[in-house]
Each structure stands twice: as C-alpha cells, then as structure tokens.
A and B are shown apart, each in its own frame.
Chain A
Amino acid sequence: MSEQAELTKIVDHVETVFRGKREIVELTLTALLANGHVLLEDVPGVGKTTLALALSRALGLDFKRLQFTSDLLPADILGVSVWLADTAEFSFRPGPIFSNVVLADEINRTTPRTQSALLEAMSERRVSVDDKTHALPDPFLVIATQNPLEHHGTYPLPESQLDRFLMRLSVGHPIRQVELSLLTDRGSSQPVDYLTAVSDPEAFKRLQQKVDSVHLGPEVAAYILDVVTATRRDPRIHMGVSTRGVLALGQACRARAMMNGREFVISDDARKLIVPCLSHRLSLTGAMADDRATSEATMEDIASKVPVPA
C-alpha cells in the first residue's frame, strides 16, 4: 500500500467520528507526519478533544489529556521521582506527558513556568528530572488548545514559545448539515472511544522517516524564502518569520507532498501551508497584535502578493 493510500485511510477513518472537517484532520495529520505540534485556537466544544483522541486511536497511539490550570506545576506534567522504601532508591514516575499524543487543554491558563516546562519537552522530546534524562515516546505529538475569548487570568504564550508549534489551526463550528447529522445519528455513529486502529506506531514512524526523503527543489525553496522575506519587510509586522519557521514550513510541505502521493514538494504545498504554518509566528505591531484573525489575514495578504512559481 502506498503512503498516500495509507494516510488517506487514516484520514477517512478519523472522519467517521470527527465529521465535516477533513481539512483540519489532514492538516493535523500533516503536522504529525512532520513531527510537529499543533496549536488549536478555538472556543470550547467544537471537537478538539475528539480530533486528538480519534487521531491517536486511529494510529494506535496512546493518548493523554492535560487540563491546564493556574496551579498546575511542571512536575504534574513531567512526572516525579519518588522514594521507594523497599529498594531504597528514587524511582521516576512518568507524568502524563509520557504519551504519544498529548492534548494540552487551555495551555494559556497555566503559569509561564509550567508552560515552558511543556514547551521545552515538546522541542527537546525528552524530560530531565533530577539529573536524569528520560526520552519521550516516539511519535510524540502535542495538541495544545487556547480559548481565544477568555483573557481573564490567562498567560498568553510568548512569541518564542509559539514558534515551537508547527501549525496553528482553528477548528470552527461544523456546518449545519454535519451538526444536524450529529444530532440525529447519535445512536448509529461510532463513538470515538471505540474507534479501532487502522495503523500502528511502527508503521507511522516509518512514514515520518520517509517524509525526510521527499524532495524540496530550489524553486519551492526560493518561493518560501520570498514569502518569509516579505514578512520581514512588511511594515505591519514587528518581527518576521524566524529561520525555525522556514524549516518548519519546509518540513510541513514535505509531509503534505507525501499525503498527496508525491515524492517532491510543489509550490501549491507551500502556498497552502503558509497561513497555518507561519501566521502564528508573526509578531504584529499595533493593537490587534495577538489576534488570530488579524495575523492570518496579514499573512494571507502578504502571501497573495508573492508570485508562486508555476
């Protein structure tokens, strides 16, 4: 079975429980393939948990959910060393982060200290507790969520931390037909808890490794750099996209090319992924600086003025 067919099967499978948002499923899977993390910025109740759970079930990965609160401590996430009396030594009790898919709910509710513990683990893919380093499972995907409407008592993620997410997505409300069928077909539809795996972690790891072999030619690379340069020159933007952002976009493009059954990246891939991959990396000037809609519109505007190689 080709990679494309394999991945399409996964997306189809997830779609049976997370309906009407195929694009979001594909983008999330793309991020996962590219070994990146996803920030979902959305109001509660649109199925963020369902998406994360369904994806992990379908891939046969284990899943943990972390509800972030202001009193959550790093140890609550990473794990602690406890004294075992019978063996007379410290033993590491891994925290909930030791899981393939971690849903970090309302990440902006917790303190910067806890946030940075999570984010560090995200980029390092290992956890250091008491001078001991524990590798996180592979594959490892964090899906963090933020509620864009509640600002009271939140700690917004700083730019440097946002940069660690490969994509920022927004699920949005499903369309009327989908909601209608959700209401009426409740009995017949398959609950996410019983979703069977259509793949296994080993297979998925192979897919992730194959992403690196996808060819990204000089033309697409030049295009990506054109867009990035444009963000660095735009007066609306305080600080443009970082080199980390460039690399992230390139990797996401490779993953998308693979999802579409290609062995090479085309300019369409980059054009499609520019907004989800780069918009949260812009630090805008002005009052609407941390508004998702504004940054996405700005990114789209910049991208629409850069000629795409055809």
Chain B
Amino acid sequence: MQADRLEVVHEWSLYLIVLLPVLPLVGSTVLPVVGAILFFAALVASWFTHRAGVGRQIPERAWNVVVLSFVGLGALRVMFTDTAMLDTVVQLLLILTIVKLFGRWSVRDELQVFVLSLITLAAATTLTDQLVFGVAFSAYVLAGTFALAVFHLRNEVRQRPKISFRGIPTLNRSYAMVLTGMSAVVLGASLIVFFAFPRIGLGFFAPKTRDALQMTGFSESVELGNHGVIRDNPAVVIRVEFDQRPTETANMHWRMMSFDNYDGHSWSRTLSSNKNTLPTVERDDRRKVIGLSTRQARQSMAKVYSGSGAESHLQVYLEPLGTTLVPTLWTSDSIRLGSDTVSVPFGPRSGWVKSDEYGDLHHTVADQVGLIYQLWAWEIPGSMQVDAPPRAFLQMPDFSNRFKPFADSIAPGAEDPKAIADGIKEHLQQNYTYTTDLPEVGTSPVESFLFETRRGHCEYFATSATLLLRERGIPARIVNGFLGGSWNSVGNFLAVRQGDAHTWVEYFDTKRGWVMLDPTPASLIDPMASGLDTARQYYDALTLFWTKWIIEYDLNSQIDVFRRLATSFNSPSVSKETKPDDDSTPEPLTWGPWALALASLVLGWMFGSTMGKSRRDVRWHALGVILLSMAGGATGWALFSMSASFASAVNVWIGAGFAWVRRPAVSPLDKAWFIVERAAKNAGIERAMDEGPDHFLDRIAQWMPDNTAQLAAFKSKYLAARFGAQQKQHDLVEAAARLAKIISEHAKTGRQ
C-alpha cells in the first residue's frame, strides 16, 4: 500500500520534471503548437502504456528507427532550410525523452529521463528569456529536489527492501514535509546564489539575449495604403519610468525616424546616412568615472532639438526592435545609455548615440539587445535656432494642378511658418475624419485623400500636411514614432505599445528651429483600449520587473540591491523619512513582501497540518496547500513589491514594528547621527575613527560654506543631546534628515 503510493508520487513528479522545461518552449520555433500537441499526446500515452506494462512490447529497434530517422531529417533541415541547429537538437532531446518514457523498465532509464529534462532546461535557458521561463525554472528547482528525493527513496525501497533498515522507509508525512521544506530551501539558496554571486552581466556573453519584437507597429518605411491592424497590437515597446508621474502622457511624441522624399506613394530617405556621435554633455560626471570617450556618457541633443524650461528625467527600457533607432521624447535635451545603477562600458551592451542628417538618433549597441537609457526632456520645446535644413526637405512629387491652389487657399497670404502650419492643421482636423478603415484610393493617395475620400489615418494626415507645408515653401518632414502610451499604475511606469505607432510632421521655422506638428485629429484617435484591464497591467509590470532584475541583472544591479539591503537592515524606519528626498541613500527594499511570504508559509503549514486524519498519513492536500501558499506568497511578493502604495503601507507597519522591537538598539539620536554620517560619506566626507563629532561637522561646514547655519543648529542640538546632562532628543531625526538632504544636494551641485 505504502509502496504503491510512493510509486504514484514518483510517477507524477517524474512527469512534472519532464513537462516543466518544455512549457516555456511551447509556441516558439522549437516547439510549434502542432509539435507541442504531439509531445503532450505522447506524454499522456506513455503514462498509460507504462501503467499497462505494454512499453516492453514495443521492440527497441522501432525506437532506434524513430530516433535515427529524426536525426537524419533534422540534419537535412539544418543543411537545406534555415532551421537553427539548436532548435533541432532540442527537438531531438524531446524525442529521446518520449522514447525513454515509453521504454523505461529500469531505474537507469528513469535516471536518464531526469538527465534529459535537465539538459532540456539548460537548452531552454538559451532559447527563451520570457517571464514564463523564470516561473518554470523556479518550479523546476522546487519540483526537481522533491522528485529526485522521491526517486531515490523509491529505488531504495524497491531494490533493497530488507537491507539495513530498521523498517521499510515509507513516504510518511514527516518525510514529505522535510522534502518540501528542503525543496524550498534549495530554491531559496539558488535565489540567493543568483542574486548574490558576483556576476559580470549578460553583456559580455550574450550579444543576442532577447527576441526582437515583430515589427508590425512602427516601421522603417511609410507607404500609404498598408495600415490597419496595427492599432490593436498590445505588445509593449517602450517602458518609461519618470521621476514624477507626468500629468499629461497622451500628447507625448516618441520620435524615431523621419523622411524627406515622397514619390507619390511612399516615403524614403535621400540624404546621406552619415552619422555623427552626439557631443558629450560637459557637466556629466559619469564620464570622468569611466574615463573613456563618450561611451555611456551623457550626450547632448542640442543639435537635434531645442527647448527650455525645467528638465525632467526619464528612465527608458526599450524592447529589442531589430533597429538601431532610439526613440526620444519630443523634445529631449540629452541622453545617456544605461541607467543610474546599470552602466556597461564594455561589451556588446555598451555603445554611444549618434544622430544622422535627419536628426534621428541611432545607437551602436547590438540591435537585438533591449536598450536601457536615460533621457532628460525639456519642458517647453523649440526656442533656439538650429542650422538651416537642406533643400531635400522641400522636395515635391508630381501632383495634378489642383494641389497648388488648394495649398494656397489655406491660411491665404500668411507668411509666418507657424501661422501657415496652424492653418493647415486646423483645416485638416476640421474637414477630414480619422479612420483606419481605409477607402479605396486612386493612383495618388494624397490627392485622393485631400479631394475625394477625406478620410484616412495618421499617415495620410501627416503626409498631406508635410506636402502642403512644402508647397508653401516651408521645409518639412514626416516623422514616425509612437504617440502617448498608457500609464501602468501597478508598476508606475508608462507603457508605449506597438499599437501606439503614429506619424506626424516636423516643419522648420527660422525663428524656432524644427517644430512638431501633429495634424491628425487628436480626439478621434482611439487610445489603444483605454481601459486596460488590471491583469495586463500586472503582467506588464512583472515583465518590467523580470527585465530589470533577471535579464538585465548584473554586477551594478547587485551592488544596488545590496546597498538597499544594507540600508534596510541598518535603519528599518529611517527609510521612511529619507526615502523621498535623499537620492544618495538608496531606496530600501520593502519588508512587507518578505513578511507576507513567510506568513503565508506559516499559515499554510498550520492550516495544512490540521487537515490530516492520522499521523502516519501523507497529507497530500496539506502539502498542496503549503506549496500553493508558497507560490501565492512569492507572487504576492513580486506584485506587492511593485504596487507601491500597499507595499509602503506594509513597510510602515513592519518598520514601526521593527522600530519598536529595536528601540533600545537604535535611539533617534544614533539614527540622526547615522543619517548625517551616511549622507556625508556618500558625498565623499568620511569620518575617521578617531574624529570627534564636533570636528567632523566643522569639516562638513567648511566643505559647504553656504549651509553653516543649518549645520551649526544641528551640531548644537546633537551635541547637547548626546553629551549634555539633559537629553532632549526629539526632532533631532528630522533635523538630521533635512541636513542629509542638504548635504547630498550640495554634493550634487558641487560636482557639476
């Protein structure tokens, strides 16, 4: 009875182990849907044949024929079609697995199945980097430990039933519990290794790390008449984190590529493709640290855009698009590859940004790699003069004689480019309608649009406006990119999708430089399923998390994580006070999710252990509850770490709890001093071991002479509280936090 149960558990875990590495591959080139159905069918069949014991009846020769014919076929496919070698090898692995599952009658066969599944998992690592793989991998680590232990136990029981055991080892409750616990420990340990083991980043090894998105939305060509389905494509192209949530995102134009020549049907580029590296921003501090040319330095886009007002800082995560074009926000001031925490000066991940004759930006990083970069965007666009544009931006196709009078009839007599442009925009928006359901157009789509159908999508509007502007003698160009995007409130970032692809116009105004003009009727553009369901937001936020912390996780991110951890451990509740305003103190990791995961584990255990009937029974439902709650806890951890409001609320409770527990250890006085000391240390002023507080604060004061009053106030308060007879400690922490802010700000401005 007991052995039978063991057999069942073993069977299930074996199949789970086989299945897990395959799941992420379903739908890819390795395992198309048909192949996947066949594979699963074979799996199910092998289950029953093994049960029925018919596996033995299939002669081994038959399997050899199957395998060899596949090898031959695969070799031919690799040689004569463009099938990847690795795909074929993985397919072979799957076939071998199936063969082994059908024909297993010894322990060795089963061991081989384990090995095959491990190899499949390893191969899957190189084939996919999707979130699904991460989930499957974690599950594999959990299930693998469990399955191997069960496998071993079963073999012991089966092969040596009477040797050296006091009793036959059985799969009782405690054994199963220990196994589950061990699996969890192994998973935890492997996570620790993943996050803690020093690594040098993917950049060195994997020039191609991510699958490029299918380019259905944005394209490097504009040809009127082949538009339509793209507005529905929800694949996210760009994810943007803002320092502060922008009030208006619908009007953000993510500029990628522009064109000068229209031949009557499609746009093309006729200017030279020379690219110039953008100049480095002088005040950039990172350049000095690296000491290497302009790689990963902040580069100025003054030659491309102009603008004024306050700068906002954006952190952009660009999915691999199969192009070297860099989307920039209209209008940006400067750009820097990498992020504040991640910078890769060497390897395929590194590079710099160049601009071409059109003002389009290109990066020199391998185009199959997702790009991470920072943008500084102007508040008010276009107020400076830039070089006059080449004549190419005045090229006209051959039009009928209806076009010129029409162009002249809009804003008649106006000379100012802005007046003409606004007139054209107004005319188009009032008299034409936006549609993606295109009517039949004649030989000249623009003229059909202007004079007959009066309906079209953004490419028609933009093309017409560009040509009308040119007809009036104003240099203009058409620009491809993305418009708007939707705010992901789960992860607090802006997600720009394929479906947000858009086309608009830039015209040249001698007084303002290039000016953006979007003639498409704004109100009629359907903003991509505005009510995005929360599930999609969660999924997308998880994907960004996955990209940031698993795929792009490298040494720099590691350092960042450990700095955060250290901050968390050092001052559980300081974080609250310093978090919003102190950049130099990294944002601590939240306690909430950890506690949640732990609590769910404990709860699951307690709940599960009350459900069994007798002590000796394996409580499978209990185990299930535990595993489920662990998975729930882990998912909760991932989700809540992104939903800032909840996590910070939990963090405050936990932080308060910690503050209460640790009250004697960290007094507000110590905390105040640590805040200041850390801020100063981050700014480069470190206290020597034998340096008194008075001298140390004096030294800070010398370094920032403008804030002596603040420092003196803090000093007198702090010293009195620390060494005085009456220890008045309240409001010291606040004063310290304020001071820390000043110090870090001074460090920033001082460095510039």
Contacts and interface: CB of A to CB of B under 8 A. Distances in A.
Interface string A279-310: 00000000000000000000000011111111
A270 B693 CA distance: 12
Contacts of A219: 722-723
Given A262-B719, A305-B689, A307-B689, A268 B694 contact: yes
Given A264-B720, A266-B719, A215 B689 contact: no
A268 B688 CA distance: 12
Contacts of A267: 692-694, 723
Given A262-B719, A303-B690, A310 B725 contact: no
A263 interface: yes
A290 to B, nearest CB: 26
Given A266-B719, A310-B696, A217 B691 contact: no
A118 interface: no
A215 B696 CA distance: 22
Nearest to B725: A215
Interface in A228-245: none
Given A262-B719, A266-B719, A310 B692 contact: yes
Contacts of B689: 304-308
A220 interface: yes
A264 B718 CA distance: 12
Nearest to B688: A304
B509 interface: no
Interface in A255-279: 262-272
Given A268-B695, A310-B673, A310-B677, A217 B723 contact: yes
Give the size range of A's interface with the partner. 20 to 34
B694 A308 contact: no
Interface string B385-399: 000000000000000
Contacts of B692: 266-272, 308, 310
B690 A306 contact: yes
Contacts of B691: 271, 308, 310
Given A262-B719, A264-B725, A307 B690 contact: yes
A220 B693 CA distance: 12
B728 to A, nearest CB: 12
Nearest to A218: B723
Contacts of B693: 266-268, 310
A310 B725 CA distance: 16
Which of B690, B691, B720 is most buried by chain A, counting CB atoms within 10 A of its CB?
B690
Contacts of A217: 722-725
Contact of A263 (B673, B694, B725): B725
A264 B725 CA distance: 7
Contacts of A310: 673, 677, 687, 691-693, 696, 722
Contacts of A308: 689-692
Interface in B707-729: 719-720, 722-725
Contacts of A263: 724-725
Interface string A33-48: 0000000000000000
A227 to B, nearest CB: 10
Contacts of B723: 215, 217, 219-220, 264-267
A238 to B, nearest CB: 24
Contacts of A306: 689-690
A38 to B, nearest CB: 23
Interface string B715-752: 00001101111000000000000000000000000000
A192 B725 CA distance: 41
Nearest to B715: A266
Given A304-B690, A305-B689, 7 more contacts: A215-B724, A217-B724, A264-B719, A267-B693, A268-B695, A271-B690, A305-B690
5 contacts: A215-B724, A263-B724, A304-B688, A305-B689, A308-B689
